[in-house]
Amino acid sequence: MLNARRLLCPLPVIRTQDKIKQLQPGDRLEVVATDPGVMQDIPAWCRIHGHTVLESREHEGEFIIVLQVGG
Amino acid sequence: MNKQRKAVALISGGLDSMLAAKTVMDQGVHVEGINFFTGFCVEGHTHAIRAKAKAKPKRNNALWVAEQLGIKLHIVDVIDEYKDVLINPKHGYGANMNPCLDCKIFMVNKAKQWIAENGFDFIITGEVIGQRPMSQRRDTMPVIARESGADDLLLRPLCAKYLPPTVPEREGWVDRDKLHDFSGRSRKPQMELVKQYGISDYAQPAGGCCFLTDPNYSAKLVDLWQARDNNREYELDDIMLLKVGRHIRPAANFKLIVAREEGEGRFLEGYRKEYISLFSLSHSGPLVLLDGTPSAEDLHLAAAITARFGQGRNAESVEVTITQKDGSERRLRSSLSPAPTFRRRGIYEPGRVKRQAFVMSAAGDSYAG
Ligand code: SF4
């Protein structure tokens, strides 16, 4: 899980990007953030880099995005 | 077969960098984008903070441009390294606290390092000669190329015809004839290119790409430094907070940050362990953070100001809770008589041009949350 709470965009995207560099294709990553901007920015970033968003939801004021690293 | 060349384009999210990247992509070059996050970028933040803006979430234009172009975008955190650029700009500041020339040199230099590490061949920017008073002048173009160390690996496709041929042109990686000769502040040639490429939507940031070109923001930054005995070091939280709320400095030793609406209030909540905070208990009103080292008397003044920004602004007396960083609380009753004191001392909002008496807290300034 990547804790991106209290970070404002684009920092959650930057942290996601840096974390993914350490992962392998097929791995999953859950990002938890408080900036609603992630609901747009992380999927956009995933689309251009070939990663897949498996799930995105809001839960008690937090935004959770689960993604799968592309090949 | 010729090897496909690779270029990295500095993508700000604006139209020029988009057109520059597209021009080079159209020549068969593999292009990826790079975007630097200094902490002052306009993209993102305030939209995320303010509740009103939430209804219509703001896209990140750099990501959006990359997606339109179908290229990858690498966003690089340069918050720490950028401090030196802002604090000690060799070429000075523009109209406000924007060190545009040093900033450009810094970013092109970072891009130069990036291409070396990632096996790319050259760098593209969307600069246009004569478009910006500080960084995009005929005489500063070579300065950026030279001082960044990129030299003739730096290609400016939108105005290349005015500049000496660079390596990508000399080596035939790109055809110089198909590059452009844009100059000056007119946007006409860009508009023609937009039509030619069939681009239907693009962002046009007014002024600059960061808060440092904003006079109000710059004034708050200078005020922050002055209040710290001209120690210009700063943390990310400092510069983020300058984007939020109304900043009021009743005295040299402390200032107040007053949430203007609900979204800002929620954002400031996150800082209650780092700052003394105040809110009115007896009436609804904004959360207020206090930055500095207030005396007991200052706390009374801060409580009175907090009261004035809430629904109790005309009440006989307002009860205000003051919470220390360690969570310990204390209550103060503020009767609204000290207005003459405020007047005498004056309340200075760094973002405003004139010194103003506290009476400025008329209805329009009150909390909307
Ligand atoms: S406007 Fe800001 S980000 Fe853009 S060049 Fe100037 S200082 Fe740098």
Domain housing B167 = 6-197
ipTM (interface pTM): 0.95
CB contact under 8 A, A48 and B77: no
pLDDT over 70, % of chain B: 85
Q: Which of residues B168, B197, B226 is at a domain's end? A: B197
The pLDDT value recorded for residue B278 is 96
Look at chain A and report how many structural domains it folds into.
Answer: 1
Residue B160: pLDDT band with limits 50, 70, 90: very high
Q: What is the pLDDT of residue B59?
A: 79
pLDDT given at position B55: 53
> Do residues A45 and A15 touch, judged by C-beta distance below 8 A?
no
Mean pLDDT, range B278-307, rounded to an integer = 94
Say whether both B127 and B256 belong to one domain.
no
DSSP state of B228: T
> Percent of chain B beyond pLDDT 90?
69
Examine the domain organization and report whether B222 and B286 are in the same domain: yes
Residue of A nearest to B41 (CA): A10
Report CB contact under 8 Å: A41, B60: yes
- Ligand 1 test: best mutation among B41, B82, B100, B125, most atoms within 8 Å of CB? B100
CATH number for the domain harbouring residue A37: 3.30.110.40
Instruction: Write the DSSP symbol of residue B203.
Output: B
Tell me, yes or no, whether B161 and B244 share the same domain: no
Contact A48 B73 (CB under 8 A): yes
Per-residue pLDDT, B50: 62
B212 CA: nearest ligand 1 atom: 2
Asked if the model's pLDDT at residue B124 lies above 80, the reply is yes
Establish whether residue B208 lines the binding site of ligand 1, counting it when its CB lies within 6 angstroms of any ligand atom: yes
pLDDT for B86: 97
Q: Which residue has the tokens 């207030």?
A: B294
Residue A67 DSSP SS3? strand
Pairwise CA distance, residues B298 & B318, whole Å: 17
Range of B112-126, B132-146, B206-220, B253-267 with top mean pLDDT:
B112-126
Per-residue model confidence (pLDDT) at position B112:
98
- Which of B145, B162, B197 finishes a domain? B197
Same domain, B161 and B298: no
What the block records as the tokens of B192 is: 């023609």
Judging contacts by C-beta atoms under 8 Å, the chain A residues touching residue B49 are: 8
In a domain, B266, yes or no: yes
For residues B296 and B187, state if they share a domain.
no
Average pLDDT, chain B: 86
In a domain, B244, yes or no: yes
Side chain identity at residue B86, one-letter code: L
As a whole number of Å, the end-to-end CA separation of chain A is 20
Do B220 and B193 share a structural domain?
A: no
Task: Give the residue with greater pLDDT, B341 vs B100.
Answer: B100
Q: Smallest CA–CA separation between B46 and chain A, in Å?
A: 9
Residue B339 has pLDDT above 70, yes or no: no
pLDDT for residue B364: 31
Count of structural domains, chain B: 2
Of B190, B169, B167, nearest to B179 by C-alpha is B169
Confirm or reject contact between B37 and chain A (CB < 8 A): yes
For the question of residue A9 being annotated catalytic, the response is: yes
Q: What is the pLDDT of residue B54?
A: 53
What pTM did the predictor assign? 0.88
Boundaries of domain holding A14? 2-68
Quick one: pLDDT at residue B357?
Answer: 31
Q: Indicate whether B348 pLDDT > 60.
A: no
Q: What is the pLDDT of residue B334?
A: 83
Give the residue from B172, B197, B222 where a domain finishes.
B197
Q: Say whether pLDDT at B354 is over 80.
A: no
Query: CA B138, B122, A43 angle in degrees (round to 5)?
Result: 105
B305 occurs within a structural domain: yes
Minimum-distance CB partner of A48 among B44, B67, B76: B67
Q: Is residue B206 part of a domain?
A: no
Q: How far is A45 from chain B (nearest CA, A)?
A: 7
For B51, the closest chain A residue by CA position comes to A36
Q: With beta carbons under 8 A apart, name residues in chain A contacting B71.
A: 48
Within 8 A of B60 by CB-CB distance, chain A residues are 9-10, 13, 37, 40-41, 44
A28 to chain B, any CB pair closer than 8 A? The answer is no
Q: What is the pLDDT of residue B361?
A: 29
Query: pLDDT tens, B31-53?
Result: 999 999 999 987 655 555 666 55
CATH number, position B183: 3.40.50.620
Closest approach of B34 to chain A, Cα-based (Å): 12
pLDDT for B295 beyond 60: yes
Is the Cβ pair A9, B73 closer than 8 Å?
Answer: no
- Alpha-carbon gap, residue B83 to A12, rounded angstroms: 21
Measured distance CA(B303)–CA(B276) in Å, rounded: 11
- Report how far residue A51's alpha carbon sits from residue A36's, in angstroms, rounded to the nearest whole number: 20
| Stretch among B80-84, B182-186, B199-203, B228-232 having the lowest mean pLDDT | B199-203
Are B95 and B158 in a shared domain?
Answer: yes
